[in-house]
Structure 1
Amino acid sequence: MALYAELHRHLGGSVVPRVLWRYFQRSDADLAGRFPEYAEFEEFYTKPRNTLDEYLELHTMVEGVQTSQTLPYFIYRLIRGAYIFENLAYLELRYTPFLRTSDKLSQTERIDRMAEIVDIVGIASQVKEYPIVTSQILCMHSRLPYEVNKAIVDLAAQKRQYVCAIDLAGGDAHYADRLDEFIELYAYARSLGLNTTGHLYETTEGCYPELLPYLMRIGHGIQIPLQYPELLGELASSGACLEVCPTTYLKTGNLQDIRQLKVVFDRCFAAGVDIAICTDNAGLHNVRLPFEYENLLTYDIIGFEELQACQNAAFRHAFAWPYEQPPALLLNGLFQTATPDLADVDLPELELVHLQETRH
């Protein structure tokens, strides 16, 4: 039964190790030769890295094989796993479309091909046997030129049937020299009526308060409650939501112990700042969303009440969820409508008592 919303998942990091390894075995002789056995590939692909930049290098391995021809293959398996194993009712996939085009083309030609990529992802995400509400977030990138990033914003505005927001990715430590440029692009996106999120305050080097007024959600944002809790009141007033991805911070070396997140959750709850719990790169981590929930509970970082609040916040802040309520409440309404009141059913008295006791 699909119940959950995933607001922060990268297309490049969403492919689980087994699916990616099988693809290499069938289609990429070089990588198949490098990793002839699955166990060694899984160990390489999912092991922690020392820094965020080192971690992000893994995306290039997947971006190179996620082409217009192969994207439907990967997305079908992604949607199937999300529905069957994660109970997802809603999924936002984020990626940089420019990086799914051939590097043999000119920059102008690659920009022109981005619309085709968005269409392919949009169509491939609609899998009838696994009904999940899906949408795309297009990522500007800290290492792409202004012209490409502006074209990504324009494309998001043109493809609203598939795209719900824009993002900025590529490692938040790399924004400083181009901060005015990114502020301009976010202001432009807001002027077009686009929703916005951004990788920000993930690392101690990626803290830019100048960008906060332009963001409706913050990708990660954990350094705000950890290092700058005075900003939480401003976030609460603006209604911003943090997209917290617990396993990521252990894989990138940003945190040494998952229990350090207790401060993040406690301070956000106290200040009235919403948190959506996410996976970020479920494939790179070999971790699914319910496991993120379980981990937080196991380590006493949050309780069940706080977990429910985060799950509800995810639907409340979902850019393309088409209903006013999360699916659990919608299902409750359906069950209440479908189940007759036993007092109105003409049953022998003893049988009625038995059914009432069974229900309670």
Structure 2
Amino acid sequence: MRDLIRKLPKVELHLHLDGSLRGRTVLELAENRGLELPTYSLEELMEYLQVNDNCNSLAEYLEKFELPLKIMQTKEALTRVTYELIEDAALENIKYLEIRFAPLLSTEKLNAEEVMKAVLAGIEQGESDYDLQANLILCCMRHQDPSKSIEVAQLAIEYLDQGVVGLDLAGDEANFPPEEHEEAFKLATEAGLHRTVHAGEVAGAESVKKAIDYLNAERIGHGIRSNEDKETLETVKESGVTLEVCPTSNLHTNVITNLVQHPIREYYELGIPVTVSTDNRTVSDLTLSQEYLLLYEKLGFSLTDIWNLISSGIKASFITKEEKEKLIVNFKDEFKNITDYSL
């Protein structure tokens, strides 16, 4: 099953660039710039980039982004890490990928335009070398002044036809409610830019409802605490909002204490659209194939269930109806060839 899942065509919609850097790349880029690292041993460096089983909170999890963000301050670094993420995804047969990152966090030496062009250059190189389509989602950060979110929204709109498909709100969910950033998402909606919002991870169901009511979210990043309130759960179901579920990440941030407790099965059986992602490949030391294998082994998802999750991801992707239909047809053919399984 491990080999079969790895071969299956897949999509990933919730994947952070700064949480998915290769350790060796961090070493090399730091050396190129003369940056001081806490260690120059690759094995020891991974302790600064990955969580372990003792991670107790989202705050502790987010500490693993500090070093990658220091690295991601040059055109060379941004292009390279983007290209390598596409390469890593292609190696496990991910065919469509939405990469998210906060462009304003890479502007120590570059302006926002330079940051965007460097990341888009990495995507262009990756798409040229691999059978994979990738797009960008730009992240507003909750802790920053709402004017910064407006700046990010305007940047996303500027690049709407050049590889950017969506706007996200990420960061400290517990202390910064989504309504503070309503104006940025209003701009995004009016411009035809798609919206996804981190919610229902460390904060409860109210955070999810606010993301839908105030920010017009089409997808919710995580959203696993939606079931804490019956009205919110009904809102999610009736609105057709897709939950971008990242089970292992939820375990690492201590939102759940055991994978068996994860509510993805409950949401799936309720008919709520759910899609599966890794969140951060490096921080969680995880591939999308491994995430699906865990669902199969720990939560009883069958091959048909896995197809339904993959299909849900295609339907929720921020691409055109025609592109979605083409992916569905191609995925069905490839799925049958790999599994000898008719859908």
Using the size of structure 2 for normalisation, the TM-score is 0.86
The answer for the alignment partner of 2:3 in structure 1 is none
Using the size of structure 1 for normalisation, the TM-score is 0.82
Cα distance, 1:313–1:332 mapped onto 2, change above 3 Å: closer
1:218 aligns with 2:230: no
The answer for the alignment partner of 1:232 in structure 2 is 233
Q: Is the 8 A contact 1:196 1:217 kept in 2?
A: yes
1:306 aligns with 2:300: no
Partner SS for 1:243 = strand
1:318-333 aligned within 5 A = 318-320=317-319, 323-325=323-325, 327=327, 329-330=329-330
Cα distance, 1:141–1:99 mapped onto 2, change above 3 Å: same
**Matches of 1:173 and 1:308 in 2, distance apart?**
34
The answer for the alignment partner of 1:42 in structure 2 is 46
- The share of aligned pairs that are identical, in percent, is 26
Shift of 1:63: 1.3
**Matches of 1:69 and 1:300 in 2, distance apart?**
42
The answer for the alignment partner of 1:352 in structure 2 is none
The answer for the alignment partner of 2:115 in structure 1 is 117
One-letter code aligned to 1:174: N
- 1:246-270, Cα deviation, whole Å (9 max, x unpaired): 1111221221111111xx1232123
Q: Is the 8 A contact 1:16 1:286 kept in 2?
A: no
Question: Of residues 36, 52, 69 in structure 1, which corresponds to 2:58?
Answer: 52
1:1-360 aligned within 5 A = 3-25=9-31, 27-31=33-37, 34-48=38-52, 49-67=55-73, 68-84=75-91, 86-102=92-108, 113-126=111-124, 127=126, 128-160=128-160, 161-176=162-177, 179-204=178-203, 207-208=206-207, 209-213=209-213, 214-225=216-227, 227-261=228-262, 264-320=263-319, 323-325=323-325, 327=327, 329-330=329-330
Shift of 1:11: 0.8
One-letter code aligned to 1:167: D
- 1:118-169, Cα deviation, whole Å (9 max, x unpaired): 2221121122121311110011101211221101111111111211000001
**After the TM superposition, which parts of structure 1 deviate over 4 Å for at least 4 consecutive aligned residues?**
25-29, 331-336
**Matches of 1:120 and 1:45 in 2, distance apart?**
23
**Matches of 1:285 and 1:94 in 2, distance apart?**
16
Q: Is the 8 A contact 2:49 2:65 kept in 1?
A: no
One-letter code aligned to 1:131: D
Shift of 1:28: 4.3
One-letter code aligned to 1:275: V
**Matches of 2:157 and 2:230 in 1, distance apart?**
34
- 1:77-110, Cα deviation, whole Å (9 max, x unpaired): 21111111x21101111111111111x6xxxxx7
Bigger CA drift: 314-323 or 144-153?
314-323
**Matches of 1:278 and 1:195 in 2, distance apart?**
18
- 1:292-326, Cα deviation, whole Å (9 max, x unpaired): 00011111342322221111000111102652336
Shift of 1:289: 0.4
Q: Is the 8 A contact 2:248 2:278 kept in 1?
A: yes
**Matches of 1:187 and 1:332 in 2, distance apart?**
37
One-letter code aligned to 1:165: G
Cα distance, 1:335–1:165 mapped onto 2, change above 3 Å: closer
Q: Is the 8 A contact 1:217 1:243 kept in 2?
A: yes
One-letter code aligned to 2:15: R
Partner SS for 1:294 = helix
One-letter code aligned to 1:240: V
Shift of 1:180: 3.4
Cα distance, 1:245–1:28 mapped onto 2, change above 3 Å: farther
**Matches of 2:278 and 2:176 in 1, distance apart?**
23
Any unmatched runs of 5+ in structure 1?
105-109, 337-360
The answer for the alignment partner of 2:340 in structure 1 is none
Q: Is the 8 A contact 1:98 1:114 kept in 2?
A: yes
Q: Is the 8 A contact 1:16 1:282 kept in 2?
A: no
One-letter code aligned to 1:47: V
- 1:191-239, Cα deviation, whole Å (9 max, x unpaired): 22211001000113574222223110000000013x2244222212211
Q: Is the 8 A contact 2:173 2:203 kept in 1?
A: no
Q: Which has the larger radius of gyration?
A: 1
One-letter code aligned to 1:156: A
Partner SS for 1:197 = strand
Shift of 1:36: 2.7
**Matches of 1:4 and 1:285 in 2, distance apart?**
19
Q: Is the 8 A contact 2:8 2:334 kept in 1?
A: no
Cα distance, 1:207–1:3 mapped onto 2, change above 3 Å: same
**Matches of 2:87 and 2:149 in 1, distance apart?**
31
Any unmatched runs of 5+ in structure 2?
1-6, 337-343
One-letter code aligned to 1:42: M
